Structure 1
């Protein structure tokens, strides 16, 4: 089978087309023929810095996938050949990634693909949906009527976080870099957009909230944005980040505000082998599938590339400002 592998860390040029043997299927495993694979910023970080698991090179990247079950093991009860599935699994080091034609998975990991979603959009969705859901629902415990700030609302996590916050009954403001991205975020349900290139974040948030600050802020960008967001959060509010906020962090104002600060890494169940947490993520995907099939949640894919052009997707991500998601097509 064809895969894209890395044998050393480096720039996008280290992503190389290779041939691997088709994987064998164990008793409780399913063989999925991938139709598409999502590309995420974590893929570019692993390519540059190295795998997240020991002895992880050579590696096939890609956490997100969608495809058709082609074969099942003798003890599999959840799926049969022909079933369409989506999942977030692998891609953190070693050969078990989704930049390739086939994946073998334990039957508990994939979930039935939303009926109304095509393979391309389904492959783009799992990691960002899980990240946004866990950030807003599990970490921040979002409630109806709350005011929520979501950074980078036109990005992969941001564009689904806006929608999930609106589904929870919250009011949403978001940061964007252009009028076009503001229009995109408004169409997703954002009430107020802040062009971070032209406006002061805290002043804009305080104008929107009548001087109180937001109840919840979700940082999807990094340490400097995390730091600048603290004074925009209401007293006793929640600040969630999906990135390492950095070692040189002054939390005096956060402490004065009695903020609840949460860290979100949806990869933890894979990295620490936590079956209960993986089961919870399966439940999240199934609930998101219901919202998608009811027309309440959509996934935006801005560009697609054939598998052999995986390097192009990494270059675009590292240039910044990709709207929504990018996907590799394997069919």
Structure 2
């Protein structure tokens, strides 16, 4: 089968096309999926640049996100039949081959039926960012209707999904963006208010928007100084969820004084640690979100569609920054 292989860490050009063996044999609960499209994520570029979590297992096939058709199934598979269309987040961190290939194998419980309203490219763009946004808002922050939510980088992959999930839950949303174009996109995704963080003090703007109270929940997708500055935008006893590891020089004084609840979110942990219940939960999240897509409460923006062999260019696009939405690779 065709695949993009990474033999060593480095620039995007370390991703090279190759013919490799089709994966198999299948375990009792495994499905073999013919990949139709692949979502490209920042984690792919980071692993390509610095090396995978399993450097002893090289060369590697990167890619966590995908969508395709079930072509074979293990003897105990009950959730899918041959020919079913699925989407999933699985592999690609170095332990098992990822999705930059014509075929991939996974346990049936991490996959979900592809939303009928999405094509393969749209579906492939969503799993990692959807699961991240859902776990952040629903599992960590436990948002409820009527709350005010701050979402950083609302035009990004996680950000534009988080805006929509928060709105579907009945919340008001304010988001930070870097340009007028991104502000318009975030409003199209449902944001009630946008803040141009390059021109405004976002914490001050959030306080003004929330009548001086601060938001109930903030989702930090940026990290660094933004994480610490976010404390000033959250009401006392509010919640902050961050996708990044706080730096050792973080000043926690305001967070402590205001009794903020700080949560960390890394959706790759269940795959890396082998937490089976958490992986099943992520499959369930994709099932719930498929219903939201098909009801018109969720949409995904795919900004670039490239053939599999142009994976290096996809990485360059992401590393250049400023993306609106997602980049997808297609497999004929």
TM-score by length of 1: 0.98
1:4 aligned residue: 4
Rounded Cα–Cα distance in structure 2 between residues aligned with 1:196 and 1:108: 40
Q: What does residue range 136-285 of structure 1 map to in structure 2 within 5 Å?
A: 136-285=137-286
Report how far residue 54 of structure 1 moved.
Answer: 5.2
Runs of 4+ in 1 over 6 A off after TM superposition: none
User: What SS class does the counterpart of residue 57 from structure 2 fall into?
Assistant: coil
Rounded Cα–Cα distance in structure 1 between residues aligned with 2:110 and 2:217: 31
Q: Is the 8 A contact 1:25 1:72 kept in 2?
A: no
User: What SS class does the counterpart of residue 59 from structure 1 fall into?
Assistant: coil
Aligned residue-pair number: 331
1:25 aligned residue: 25
Q: Is the 8 A contact 2:31 2:106 kept in 1?
A: yes
Q: Deviations over 1:119-144 (max 9, x none)?
A: 00110000000000000001011111
Report how far residue 56 of structure 1 moved.
Answer: 3.4
Report how far residue 58 of structure 1 moved.
Answer: 1.4
User: What SS class does the counterpart of residue 4 from structure 2 fall into?
Assistant: strand
Q: Does 1:289 align with 2:290?
A: yes
Report how far residue 246 of structure 1 moved.
Answer: 1.6
2:93 aligned residue: 92
Rounded Cα–Cα distance in structure 2 between residues aligned with 1:138 and 1:67: 28
Q: Is the 8 A contact 1:111 1:282 kept in 2?
A: yes
2:304 aligned residue: 303
Q: Is the 8 A contact 2:111 2:286 kept in 1?
A: no
Q: Is the 8 A contact 1:5 1:15 kept in 2?
A: yes
Rounded Cα–Cα distance in structure 1 between residues aligned with 2:245 and 2:274: 21
Report how far residue 165 of structure 1 moved.
Answer: 0.4
Q: Is the 8 A contact 1:58 1:94 kept in 2?
A: no
Rounded Cα–Cα distance in structure 1 between residues aligned with 2:225 and 2:319: 18
Q: Deviations over 1:68-123 (max 9, x none)?
A: 01112233222221110000000101551001100011222211111111100110
Q: Deviations over 1:134-175 (max 9, x none)?
A: 000010111111111100000000000000000111100001
1:131 aligned residue: 132
Report how far residue 273 of structure 1 moved.
Answer: 0.5
Alignment gaps of 5+ in structure 1: none
2:84 aligned residue: 83
Q: Is the 8 A contact 1:85 1:113 kept in 2?
A: yes
Report how far residue 230 of structure 1 moved.
Answer: 1.2
Q: Is the 8 A contact 1:56 1:94 kept in 2?
A: yes
Rounded Cα–Cα distance in structure 2 between residues aligned with 1:135 and 1:29: 28
Q: Deviations over 1:238-288 (max 9, x none)?
A: 010011122221101110010000000011110111111111111111110
TM-score by length of 2: 0.97
Rounded Cα–Cα distance in structure 2 between residues aligned with 1:45 and 1:8: 13
